[in-house]
Chains A and B, each alone.
Chain A
Amino acid sequence: MPPVRAGGSRALALAPALTLALMLGPLAAGLGGTLLPAFGYLPALGGEGFSLAPWRALFAEPGLARAAQVSAFVGIVSTLISLAAVMAFCAAWQGTRAFSLLQRVVSPLLSVPHAATALALAFLIAPSGWLARMVSPWATGWTRPPDLLIVHDEAGLALVGGLVLKEIPFLFLMTLAALNQVDADARVRLARTLGYGRMAAWLKAVFPAVYAQIRLPVYAVLAYAMSVVDMAIILGPTNPPTLSVLVLRWANDPDLALRFQAAAGAIAQLLIVLGGLALWRLLEMGIARAGLRAATGGARMTHDGWGRGIALLPVAAIVAAVIAGLASLALWSAARVWRFPDALPTRWTAANWTDNAARAGELIATSAGIAALAALIALVLTVACLERETGRTHTGSLGAERLSRALPLLYAPLIVPQIAFLFGLQVFFVRIGIDGTAGAVVWAHLVFVLPYAFLAMADPYRAYDPRYVRTALCLGVSGRAAFWRVKLPMLLRPLLVAFAVGFAISVGQYLPTVFAGAGRVPTVTTEAVALAASADRRLIGIFALLQAVLPFAGFALATAIPALAFRSRRGLQVR
């Protein structure tokens, strides 16, 4: 059997290299462009030689140690909580009705961008937020908001909360995929026949195998949480802020000499993330050793009803928090007067929307255009890579294995903190003269869209039964036609899902938009984050809501289109 390819095999042969270049090229250029100024070299700003001056300036900055501590604390604690919550929930509820219900709720949750989630949470939990308003003054006696530091607290607990809201759905989705691969049901069944309780069976027989599968996503979550910028601006401490926010401040300072210090700070952020990952690795080994002892100890833990109840709580709480937060955004967007302690606005208006319709329309068009382009490019590259890989597999080569070995590379842009290479990437874009253009923004987004599009597409593509294509070939169709007319249509659903994922990732990008766009390509996300620090809640409500609705629309289309396209093809419908 000759390799089955979509034709243009030479172009296909280049696909993996092109994909890696488009993704890792900016990463490498960016890291280099951050490293050089961190050691004093940036001729455009008068840095002709190497020096340690940027580092001296960095260490002289008041609050630096505190900022670094908070960054590390927030990252590790939020990741621990999210992972524990997801693992506990899976252990307690896998295979039940609650589990499959959550499965359906989770993708929309995942599509709400980080900044919108953070704004929604801030509206909810602030001392003047909706929760306090609902219980005041009848239950609390508060006629004015209590003087409590909840949002922007120094320890970063509000930021931990916001990150957990986003990380639980992401880790849950990753775990779902892993559960299929490790044949979790069979493992649980076996352990239960040996008399283990439901949770014990899962934790002892499934967890180790699942964790091995989701280790990279966990690392990505950890790295992200330690260096996040948009959520940290909205929820994190301000006095001093987290390290990444400090670095962004310096990078945007009118005093261009601060760029050197910013670069050093960005490298420091990278080192903190690497340190955090190393610490996590140690933690993994410690848990593995303790887990081994527990697993061989033989405790059956059959009375786990209370544990199952507790395991449900965090997951139910985050679903409720996101929905209530979005609802409060919607209320604010239509409020004219809503003063503390009223539970609802006392006067309503559509003016917030009508006054901002033109501006909002422009921002939506920009956001959607950039996102659609980035997602489309990512999808084409992903399919080309996968097609080349599966084409090879049919001939029995080791392509698939080689590519899965390259998978950690896909995670590289997700593990290296954005602030560590976007600064250098901006310099690179300036050099090649495309900074401040929509094209530069699309490229910068692509770096983050590609990994997710690939992850979303890889499994369904690899699982595609090659006999359909072979049948088509036997019927006398060309390889090209078999690809376009048989294989791709059958893969329409995962293609659209991968597109929607990429679209959502792009819409949510804050830092890459600011850096590559030189602040001149405003999107719904940059607007929402900029408004978060200022302006009134009515405006924030509008732009955060738009930011949340845009990716959601993408997912809705991804569901609706196959249903329409396949309405007369029963075999392709979802039961």
Chain B
Amino acid sequence: MIRRALGLAAAALLAATALTGAARAADAPDPGDWEAVLKAAQGQTVYWNAWGGEPRINAYIAWAGEQVKARYGVNVEHVKLSDTADAVARVVAEKTAGRDTGGSIDLIWINGENFAAMKRNGLLYGPWSEAMPNYRFVADGDLVKLDFTVPVEGLEAPWGKAQVVFMYDTAEMPVPPRTAADLLAWAQANPGRFTYPQVPNFLGSTFLKQVLYEVTPDPSVLVRPADEAGYEAATAPLWSYLDALNPVLWRQGRAFPQNSAAQRTLMSDGEIAMAISFNPAEATSAILKDELPDTVRTAVFEGGTIGNASFVAIPYNATAKAGAMVLANFLMSPEAQAHKQDPDVWGSFTILDVATLAEEDRARFAGLDLGIATLAPEALGTPLPEPHPSWMTRIEEDWARRYGASQ
């Protein structure tokens, strides 16, 4: 009798495990079994939450969606965000409300602080990205292994590379500054002709990081979390640099453009002659669209400029995880990457190691005309790593106290 009951219980237990196992398989596809992922992805709809502020990027996302639909039967809906943080907040809200499955976001275009926050709070699915078939083409290195010094650990798949360049108008500035000190000297000689987006805007903060790398006594401390004593010593030269720069900025530093697009508009209006950009092809694309004068060119600092990769990640409660993987894998394909690097399309640099590709794929990249204002990949140099996020939190607070309240 007892034995029979135990047997029944064991059977029930087994069945239950099998059932939840099956449920988990559908909910949590195994990236190692690519055929199964493709099968599970058939007919799924992927809600891809991605910044929607740039028509060209939106068009690229739409193109990727069409390709994935035609090849793998995966539907892609672009949820246009004005700020990636909105998507993070929504996943937090869903977790708070107990919606651990059936979440409303399947894939997020993400990096840096938002990735760090999601990883810290266990809001990401994975690891999965390194098991994607196309990951083998990705260039090896810290650029794709670390996201703002936070280890990626397979929780997000790289899909684009960004690096700081300075756009300058040759009509006014035949030779671009090659160091932060050059930049300051030029700004002092030409008051009101340079500015940067208002911190804590991403690009504005990037400008501070770029200067910090050049003026701080020991840049190697920046990749570790900031501590009290180290922070003071490392940032003191930054503040004296900015104290000198602020009064000669556009509008005497009493106002700042709110973001990169507003900054580009200032350049288009001739209000400033130089601007920072995180996309080496931005100037070329803007010239093609008649947004910037065709006398604009780009340059980098001698000591190197900050670079990073941007990624796509799957939230822990995503509904269409398999579909999201199929899309992410496609985004890493040589074809999608080469299309993206075309300045007529987007002009975003690839995260692939082009030299290792098959000849036919190498030809796709070799055939690209990068345009008149874009530096060749060799000229960009090796990107400097992003500092640890803890530095920026404090620097942004201090910036607001010093320059953000118009005393």
- Take A147-B250, A254-B89 as given contacts and tell me if A62 and B290 are in contact as well, using a CB distance cutoff of 8 Å: no
Q: Which of A66, A239, A519 contacts B86 (CB 8 A)?
A: A519
Interface segment among A188-196, A336-344, A373-381: the answer is A336-344
Q: Is A533 within 8 A of B262, CB to CB? A: yes
8 A-B pairs with CB atoms under 8 Å apart are A63-B400, A63-B405, A149-B251, A239-B254, A254-B86, A254-B114, A533-B262, A536-B265
Number of A-B contacts (CB under 8 A): 98
A73 to chain B, nearest CB (A): 14
Residues of chain A within 8 A of B55, CB atoms compared: 355
Q: Is B401 within 8 A of A62, CB to CB? A: yes
Q: Is A238 within 8 A of B258, CB to CB? A: yes
Which residues of chain A from 136 to 176 have any CB-CB distance to chain B below 8 Å in the complex?
144-145, 147-149, 152-154
Q: Is A347 within 8 A of B290, CB to CB? A: yes
Which residues of chain B from 74 to 99 have any CB-CB distance to chain A below 8 Å in the complex?
82-83, 85-86, 88-89, 92, 96
Whether A556 sits at the interface, judged by CB under 8 Å, is no
Whether A288 sits at the interface, judged by CB under 8 Å, is no
B84 to chain A, nearest CB (A): 8
A238 to chain B, nearest CB (A): 5
Whether A237 sits at the interface, judged by CB under 8 Å, is yes
Question: What is the bound-complex CA distance between A148 and B192, given in angstroms?
Answer: 9
In the complex, the chain A residue whose C-beta lies closest to that of B255 is A152
Question: What is the bound-complex CA distance between A144 and B403, given in angstroms?
Answer: 26
B280 to chain A, nearest CB (A): 20
Residues of chain A within 8 A of B401, CB atoms compared: 62
Residues of chain A within 8 A of B404, CB atoms compared: 62-63, 239-240
Question: What is the bound-complex CA distance between A254 and B115, given in angstroms?
Answer: 12
Residues of chain A within 8 A of B192, CB atoms compared: 147
Q: Is A62 within 8 A of B400, CB to CB? A: yes
Q: Is B82 within 8 A of A519, CB to CB? A: yes
Residues of chain A within 8 A of B251, CB atoms compared: 147-149
Closest 7 A/B residue pairs (Cβ): A254-B85, A63-B405, A147-B192, A534-B261, A128-B269, A144-B270, A533-B258
Question: What is the bound-complex CA distance between A148 and B400, given in angstroms?
Answer: 22
B112 to chain A, nearest CB (A): 12
Interface residues of B (CB under 8 A from A): 53, 55, 82-83, 85-86, 88-89, 92, 96, 114, 117, 191-192, 198, 250-252, 254-256, 258-262, 264-265, 268-271, 290-291, 293, 400-401, 403-406
Question: What is the bound-complex CA distance between A62 and B260, given in angstroms?
Answer: 24
Q: Is B268 within 8 A of A339, CB to CB? A: yes
In the complex, the chain B residue whose C-beta lies closest to that of A128 is B269
Question: What is the bound-complex CA distance between A147 and B255, given in angstroms?
Answer: 11
Q: Is A238 within 8 A of B271, CB to CB? A: no
Q: Is B406 within 8 A of A240, CB to CB? A: yes
Residues of chain A within 8 A of B265, CB atoms compared: 535-537
Question: What is the bound-complex CA distance between A149 and B406, given in angstroms?
Answer: 13
Apart from A128-B270, A149-B251, A519-B82, 20 more pairs, CB < 8 Å:
A144-B270, A145-B269, A147-B192, A147-B271, A149-B254, A149-B255, A237-B406, A238-B258, A239-B254, A239-B255, A239-B256, A239-B403, A239-B405, A254-B83, A254-B114, A530-B82, A533-B262, A534-B259, A535-B265, A536-B264
Question: What is the bound-complex CA distance between A145 and B269, given in angstroms?
Answer: 8
Question: What is the bound-complex CA distance between A535 and B290, given in angstroms?
Answer: 14
Interface-central residue, B55, B250, B259, B406, by most chain A CB under 10 Å: B406
Q: Is A535 within 8 A of B53, CB to CB? A: yes
Whether A301 sits at the interface, judged by CB under 8 Å, is no
B328 to chain A, nearest CB (A): 23
Residues of chain B within 8 A of A63, CB atoms compared: 400, 404-406
Interface size class of A (residues with CB under 8 A): 35 or more
Which residues of chain A from 349 to 393 have any CB-CB distance to chain B below 8 Å in the complex?
355
In the complex, the chain A residue whose C-beta lies closest to that of B403 is A239
Residues of chain A within 8 A of B198, CB atoms compared: 238-239
Question: What is the bound-complex CA distance between A33 and B103, given in angstroms?
Answer: 26
Interface residues of A (CB under 8 A from B): 44-45, 62-63, 66, 127-128, 144-145, 147-149, 152-154, 237-240, 252-254, 256, 336-337, 339-340, 347, 355, 519, 530, 533-537
Question: What is the bound-complex CA distance between A145 and B293, given in angstroms?
Answer: 15
Question: What is the bound-complex CA distance between A66 and B259, given in angstroms?
Answer: 23
Residues of chain A within 8 A of B89, CB atoms compared: 254, 256
Q: Is A66 within 8 A of B405, CB to CB? A: yes
Question: What is the bound-complex CA distance between A91 and B403, given in angstroms?
Answer: 47
Residues of chain A within 8 A of B83, CB atoms compared: 252, 254
- Take A147-B250, A154-B254, A534-B262 as given contacts and tell me if A340 and B270 are in contact as well, using a CB distance cutoff of 8 Å: yes
In the complex, the chain A residue whose C-beta lies closest to that of B407 is A66
Q: Is A339 within 8 A of B53, CB to CB? A: no
In the complex, the chain B residue whose C-beta lies closest to that of A537 is B265
Question: What is the bound-complex CA distance between A239 and B55, given in angstroms?
Answer: 29
Question: What is the bound-complex CA distance between A347 and B262, given in angstroms?
Answer: 22
In the complex, the chain B residue whose C-beta lies closest to that of A145 is B271
Residues of chain A within 8 A of B88, CB atoms compared: 254
Q: Which of B256, B258, B269 contacts A340 (CB 8 A)?
A: B269
Q: Is A127 within 8 A of B254, CB to CB? A: no
In the complex, the chain A residue whose C-beta lies closest to that of B82 is A530
Q: Is A337 within 8 A of B400, CB to CB? A: no
Residues of chain A within 8 A of B264, CB atoms compared: 536
Question: What is the bound-complex CA distance between A45 and B85, given in angstroms?
Answer: 17
Question: What is the bound-complex CA distance between A210 and B374, given in angstroms?
Answer: 66
Residues of chain A within 8 A of B290, CB atoms compared: 336-337, 347
Q: Is B406 within 8 A of A144, CB to CB? A: no
Question: What is the bound-complex CA distance between A153 and B117, given in angstroms?
Answer: 35
Q: Is A536 within 8 A of B268, CB to CB? A: yes
Question: What is the bound-complex CA distance between A59 and B290, given in angstroms?
Answer: 46
- Take A44-B96, A237-B406, A339-B293 as given contacts and tell me if A147 and B261 are in contact as well, using a CB distance cutoff of 8 Å: no
Residues of chain A within 8 A of B261, CB atoms compared: 534-536
Residues of chain B within 8 A of A537, CB atoms compared: 265
Q: Is B271 within 8 A of A62, CB to CB? A: no
Q: Is A534 within 8 A of B405, CB to CB? A: no
A360 to chain B, nearest CB (A): 13
Q: Is A534 within 8 A of B270, CB to CB? A: no
Question: What is the bound-complex CA distance between A535 and B53, given in angstroms?
Answer: 8
In the complex, the chain A residue whose C-beta lies closest to that of B286 is A536
Question: What is the bound-complex CA distance between A490 and B293, given in angstroms?
Answer: 60
Q: Which of B53, B82, B262, B405 contacts A62 (CB 8 A)?
A: B405
Residues of chain B within 8 A of A62, CB atoms compared: 400-401, 404-405
In the complex, the chain B residue whose C-beta lies closest to that of A144 is B270
Q: Is A145 within 8 A of B270, CB to CB? A: yes
Question: What is the bound-complex CA distance between A570 and B55, given in angstroms?
Answer: 54
Question: What is the bound-complex CA distance between A149 and B252, given in angstroms?
Answer: 9
Residues of chain A within 8 A of B400, CB atoms compared: 62-63
In the complex, the chain A residue whose C-beta lies closest to that of B259 is A534
Q: Is B255 within 8 A of A238, CB to CB? A: yes
In the complex, the chain A residue whose C-beta lies closest to that of B90 is A518
A427 to chain B, nearest CB (A): 12
In the complex, the chain B residue whose C-beta lies closest to that of A249 is B200
- Take A254-B89, A535-B53 as given contacts and tell me if A147 and B191 are in contact as well, using a CB distance cutoff of 8 Å: yes
In the complex, the chain B residue whose C-beta lies closest to that of A433 is B97
A346 to chain B, nearest CB (A): 10
Question: What is the bound-complex CA distance between A66 and B198, given in angstroms?
Answer: 18
Question: What is the bound-complex CA distance between A253 and B401, given in angstroms?
Answer: 19
Question: What is the bound-complex CA distance between A153 and B255, given in angstroms?
Answer: 8
Question: What is the bound-complex CA distance between A337 and B294, given in angstroms?
Answer: 12
Residues of chain B within 8 A of A66, CB atoms compared: 405-406
Question: What is the bound-complex CA distance between A465 and B255, given in angstroms?
Answer: 59
Residues of chain A within 8 A of B256, CB atoms compared: 238-239
B114 to chain A, nearest CB (A): 7
Residues of chain A within 8 A of B258, CB atoms compared: 238, 533-534
B157 to chain A, nearest CB (A): 22
Residues of chain B within 8 A of A148, CB atoms compared: 251
Residues of chain B within 8 A of A127, CB atoms compared: 271
Residues of chain B within 8 A of A340, CB atoms compared: 269-271
Question: What is the bound-complex CA distance between A148 and B252, given in angstroms?
Answer: 9
B395 to chain A, nearest CB (A): 14
Residues of chain B within 8 A of A128, CB atoms compared: 269-271
Question: What is the bound-complex CA distance between A238 and B200, given in angstroms?
Answer: 12
A198 to chain B, nearest CB (A): 45
